[in-house]
Structure 1
Amino acid sequence: MRIDSHQHFWKYDPAIHSWIPDEMSVLRKDFQPQDLQPVLKKNDISGCVLVQAEQSETETVRLLKWAKAHSFIKGVVGWIDLESSDAGSRLKYFSKNSFFKGVRHTVWDEKGEFMTNPDFQRGVGLLAHLGLTFDILVFDYQLAAAVDLVKAFPRQKFVLDHLGKPEINGAPGEDWANNIAQLGECPNVWCKLSGLVTAAPGLQWQAEDVSSYLQVVTHAFGPHRIMFGSDWPVCLSAASFEEVLHLAEEFFKNFSKEEKDKIFGSNAIEFYNLK
């Protein structure tokens, strides 16, 4: 089974989705299940993991409703306020839903120090005993704090989204590569091969540049802890779904069938405990 481990749906709202810049104006509209399903089918993708794009439980509820209504949505990574005093009760409430697989916290306007905040870490500490994962969304300059976070919770399953959001422009930077290597040394951390085409300056990506970053994460995590993610529809501001998929398939074309099956499906199934 081939799985897209990272995609989004939303009902566009200029205030909520103010993070979408003018150069990505193609994203300023609704993206819902009926828009993605035929794309997945055309590309032989059996299912996907739906990831939050808002800091609200309202969105989490909406994502779970979409998952219940559409069989190709295999799991949801939602949001709850992990720093809240009632984080435990909210996590227990949502974990009763079999589609609720984990939590993500967006960090567009925050510094990496939030990951070492005692209240936030208390919330992270509640996830493992409920069987919930945590998606790490950080910029490259926040990766050192992410290393501290994952080491503080060795029994918690983490996955790094978008390779830690480096600017893909020529050769990988030394600091980014060193932090990726440290994350790869932690057996509780996976990495999503997502968000690549939108990481190039001016959204003008080059396959050879992307490949050099894929080499670093593949060496750090191995084929058993990396997973393909399209980052649809965000990717559409720089490339089609087909182009994103081909970019990954081309890079891994000489890997064994077993390794490719892991990267394009079974790793996501294992990490998120998908049915």
Structure 2
Amino acid sequence: MIIDTHVHFADDKIPNTALFRIEMPEVFKSLTKQYGVESVIHVETRQTLEENYWVLDLAERDKFISGCVGFIDPITNNFNSKLALFKKHSRFKGIRIHTLDYLETDNKELFIENMVSLANSGLALDLHTTHHTLYKLERIIKYLGNLPIIINHIAGPPVMDAMQIHEKWASNLIQIAKYPNVHIKLSALVQMTVEWEKQKYNTVDHKLYKAPSNPEYYKPVIDLVFNQFGENRIIYASNWPQLERVSDYATGLNIVKSYFDKKGSNISSKIFKGNALNFYK
């Protein structure tokens, strides 16, 4: 069975230009039932408190959504009160931030203070950033105790080339993997093979630029991630519906499943379910 830890739902009554396609859970369920997806973690896209409330209300009505990674402005003065408010919801699992550049601003101290509060709350941090800024995480990690941190989309490497691992991406990932509280999502792999500018030309009905579907194409990258993070700190995630910019759900899942099926059922079950349960408590 599978817990997909990175999906995005939205109501077509609420504008959301960040998403490739606006869908509610029923479409996703019908698409993924055949693959054994039993629940999902919804991850924010709008960076609003309103989206938190909307998703939590949806989760109350649909237990398929086992958790919500929401948004709280990490440089707001009322961070603690907002955190306490959302923590009352059992399905609120943490927040996502999209940059570490706060460390370069006058809000640096407030940002660190709020991240310490998050660490003390028992919730988790999803980090959506590129490999270029991962080194900044080292500057604050000493303050954060055992805060569970998970890197989204394998830290956004440059356009993935199966024939050559990008050295800077690899070195940054290797450096940050040494911290035991830092985890990583094997998500959006297919999207990492197509330049963003090209992805924007693709439509729901027509994909001018498609990602490679052969799992072997992705093996060098997954090898590096597995060798650095090990079997206990890697979590499967799809990034649906965003991955449909360049591919489809079955292909994205097969890339990861083909790799870990060869590692045996014990490791595979961790990647697809066990590690998710341990991270998003």
Q: TM-score, normalised by structure 1?
A: 0.89
Question: Which of 155, 167, 174 is 2:146 aligned to?
Answer: 155
- Summarize deviations over 1:126-163 as a string: whole Å, max 9, x none: 11222110001001211211333334423211000001
Measure how far apart 1:63 and its partner are.
0.9
Measure how far apart 1:101 and its partner are.
0.4
Cross-structure match for 2:101: 113
| CA distance in 1: counterparts of 2:239 and 2:16, whole angstroms | 18
Cross-structure match for 1:268: 276
Q: Is contact 2:10-2:16 (8 Å) kept? A: no
1:259 aligns with 2:252: no
| CA distance in 1: counterparts of 2:255 and 2:130, whole angstroms | 22
* DSSP 3-state at the match of 1:127: helix
Q: Is contact 2:131-2:156 (8 Å) kept? A: yes
Cross-structure match for 1:139: 130
Amino acid at match of 1:113: D
Question: Which of 33, 45, 48 is 1:53 aligned to?
Answer: 45
1:179 aligns with 2:172: yes
Q: Equivalent residues in 2 for 1:176-255 (5 A)?
A: 176-201=169-194, 202=198, 203-206=209-212, 207-255=215-263
Q: Is contact 2:135-2:176 (8 Å) kept? A: no
Amino acid at match of 2:124: T
Question: Which of 56, 67, 71 is 1:64 aligned to?
Answer: 56
Cα-Cα RMSD: 1.9
Cross-structure match for 1:82: 74
| CA distance in 2: counterparts of 1:134 and 1:71, whole angstroms | 22
CA spacing shift, 1:150–1:163, aligned 2, 3 Å: farther
| CA distance in 2: counterparts of 1:230 and 1:245, whole angstroms | 7
Amino acid at match of 1:205: A
- Summarize deviations over 1:66-88 as a string: whole Å, max 9, x none: 11111111100000112111000
Amino acid at match of 2:128: L
| Unmatched segments (≥5 aa) in structure 2 | 199-208
CA spacing shift, 1:220–1:246, aligned 2, 3 Å: same
CA spacing shift, 1:62–1:146, aligned 2, 3 Å: same
Amino acid at match of 2:151: L
Cross-structure match for 2:27: 35
The percentage of counterpart residues that share the same residue type is 27
CA spacing shift, 1:42–1:11, aligned 2, 3 Å: same
| Unmatched segments (≥5 aa) in structure 1 | 21-26
1:123 aligns with 2:129: no
Q: Is contact 1:55-1:106 (8 Å) kept? A: no
Aligned positions, number: 261
| CA distance in 1: counterparts of 2:85 and 2:32, whole angstroms | 31
| CA distance in 2: counterparts of 1:223 and 1:199, whole angstroms | 22
